[in-house]
A and B are shown apart, each in its own frame.
Chain A
Amino acid sequence: MLSFVARRIVIAIPTVILISIFVFGLQKLLPGDPILAMAGEDRDPETIAFLREKYRMNDPVWVQYATWIKGVVTGDLGISLRTNQPVTELIAQKLPVTIQLALMALVFALVIGIPAGILSAVKKGTITDYIANVVALSGLSIPNFWLGIMLILLVAVKWQALPASGYVPPGEDLWLSLKTMLMPAFVLGTALAATLMRHTRSAMLGVLKSDYVRTARAKGLAERRVILKHAFRNALTPIVTLTALLFGELIAGAVLTEQIFTIPGFGKLVVDAVFNRDYAVVQGIVLVTAMGFIVMNILADAAYFVLNPRLRKQ
């Protein structure tokens, strides 16, 4: 198991290096000169020279990359041009908010997506299957920021049942925190539930055709037991892997969801950074999400290993 994970980590190294080069290269795409923008209206040459030195703009590109990557490895992602705070600190501040949103959304996605997928696979070709598929396809086609806006209109403006926006840390008031996050998490969760439902359905359909499911039925086991114990346990492996791959969708969805519900998380940070041309923050966020994706992939492989005993023998 450990050697398996270690091997996966080694394989990921070239990818990580390429990502770092790409993220670093982003700033070279910049149309204007950020230093000129920072120097303000009068563009005092001394200020410009000072700023260039401070942000190491005078060094050759590869030296700039080396300095940058040395910082990244030690956890220094640079300094926000806007707030003068270290980027690592900013991200560390906002990350818990987004993690709370993402976890709550994942709960919605799993609770809706997996049972719907199992049901539609078991009842393949019936009206239940048909309805589940139509709902899933609609879920995939609805832009989740629009769904968010419509929910605000209905739940917060019309019924006044839930707060329309904002964020309360769970440490401050757990109940209010969950209440404020409920609508955003639902919006983000339903988008993922549709994908998850489709994956679960196709994984279950594959497993339901297998010999051991037929054997289990032939033995006279209760249908419930056949489906949950024999079929679902085996369909779980691809579902877990695919859930890990949903990480990207979860983060992307969080950016929009946080924007609609004005939640001060990771996504809001990146959007604000874009408008403030705070490119150290944008770079830091791209890097952190990419690393998160790679870690999730390695974890998914490890889970695959745990869930599939056949792999362990090799």
Chain B
Amino acid sequence: MMAQPATPATLKPQLMTDPVLQKRPENRVWKKFRSHRSAMLGGLLVGLFVLMAVFAPILPIPDPTATDWGAVRQAPSAAHWLGTDEIGRDVLSRLVWGAQASLLAGVISVGIAVAFGVPLGILAGYFGGWTDGIISRCTEALLAVPFLILAIALAAFLGPSLTNAMIAIGLSATPVFVRLTRGQVISVKAEDFVEGAHAIGLSTPKILSRYIFPNILPPVLVQATLTIATAIIAEASLSFLGLGQQPPAPSWGSMLNTAKNFLSQAPWMAMWPGIAIFLVVLGFNLLGDGLRDALDPREH
């Protein structure tokens, strides 16, 4: 591939003749993604919940924290489409507002995991040696503690709140991104174009930002999407245990926590939050699987 001496001027055209890049990668990926029916369904589900969360304040629904002692544990009706809870709050309204907590928790905690995990992974993979040694040992140690146990422990020691749950979930998910990024960087580092960039004397930050980072981005994106699904379940689990969103603020996990005490009297209370979690998590899982197929260069 490197027949002529590499200078910045010759290196670029060479990259452009790469058959994978030549086909306008954005178009190829988008086309493949669009033809992937389940991925589109995933996107649709996620989009729907995002709209619900964003427009929660202007939707014609009651205040999610407004109690009504005259309408306690009422079955679904015209006034309350999904019924009311144990202190007369509208379940639909709490469900819609709960989407905010869930999506925020998913996105922010994965944001934390990416913000810590990717740079650490790049450091470990690119520099190797003792930097890699230290980072990798720490990653292994954190990976040995099950995700939820770690999140529970952190939430316990930091104190229960939605913010702390997000920090805990984010930190627990970090090792996965360190590992993934490290592996990707090691394989990209061995590519001819990185060696070429070295040969023409580009600085390390430039090599990292121009050549390494764009190439490790697709797998990180796929992993991030799938991790959002896991993070949403983790937030719901923590809230279910009472370690996430604190009452009276609505969250699907804590709605299920109260609902389990009224199973025989008010089964609708337990039904909808679970379905909501299932659908949004399914959405992110489908989206992630679809992105993986669309971004996989081996299968075009």
Contact = CB atoms under 8 A, between A and B. Distances in A.
Given A137-B282, A140-B285, A259-B240, A149 B137 contact: no
A224 B277 CA distance: 40
Contact of A146 (B149, B156, B264, B278): B278
B259 interface: yes
Given A252-B147, A256-B237, A15 B141 contact: yes
A263 interface: no
Chain B at the A interface: SS class:
helix
A152 B260 CA distance: 9
Interface string A62-83: 0000000000000000000000
Given A137-B286, A256-B240, A19 B145 contact: yes
Interface string B132-169: 00000110111011111110111111110000000000
Contacts of B104: none
Contacts of B281: 140-143
B137 A145 contact: no
Contact of A270 (B137, B149, B159, B256): B149
Interface in A269-299: 270-271, 273-275, 277, 279, 282-283, 285-286, 289-290, 293-294
A250 to B, nearest CB: 8
A44 interface: no
A102 to B, nearest CB: 12
Given A143-B274, A146-B256, A290 B240 contact: no
A27 B286 CA distance: 39
Contacts of B149: 248, 251-252, 255, 270, 285-286, 289
Given A149-B256, A252-B148, A289-B146, A142 B241 contact: no
Nearest to B150: A286
Nearest to A156: B263
Contacts of B144: 15, 19, 290, 293-294
Contacts of B141: 15, 18-19, 22, 290
* Highest count of chain A CB atoms <10 Å: which of B137, B146, B237, B273: B146
A14 B274 contact: no
Nearest to A276: B156
Nearest to B137: A14
Given A274-B152, A286-B153, A251 B282 contact: no
Interface string A86-129: 00000000000000000000000000000000000000000000
Contacts of A29: 154, 157-158
B111 interface: no
Contacts of A138: 278, 282
Contact of B159 (A14, A31, A143, A293): A31
Contacts of A289: 145-146, 149
B219 interface: no
A153 B264 CA distance: 7
A30 B139 CA distance: 23
A270 B281 CA distance: 26
A260 interface: yes
Contacts of A270: 149, 152
Given A143-B236, A255-B149, A282-B157, A149 B260 contact: yes
Interface in A129-179: 137-138, 140-143, 145-147, 149-150, 152-153, 157
B270 interface: yes
A260 B146 CA distance: 19
Interface in A30-53: 30-31
A146 B267 CA distance: 12
B264 A157 contact: yes
Contacts of A157: 263-264
A221 interface: no
**Those 4 A-B pairs whose CB atoms lie nearest each other, nearest first:** A146-B274, A252-B148, A248-B146, A18-B141
Given A18-B137, A26-B153, 9 more contacts: A137-B285, A142-B274, A143-B237, A149-B263, A149-B270, A153-B263, A271-B241, A274-B155, A275-B242
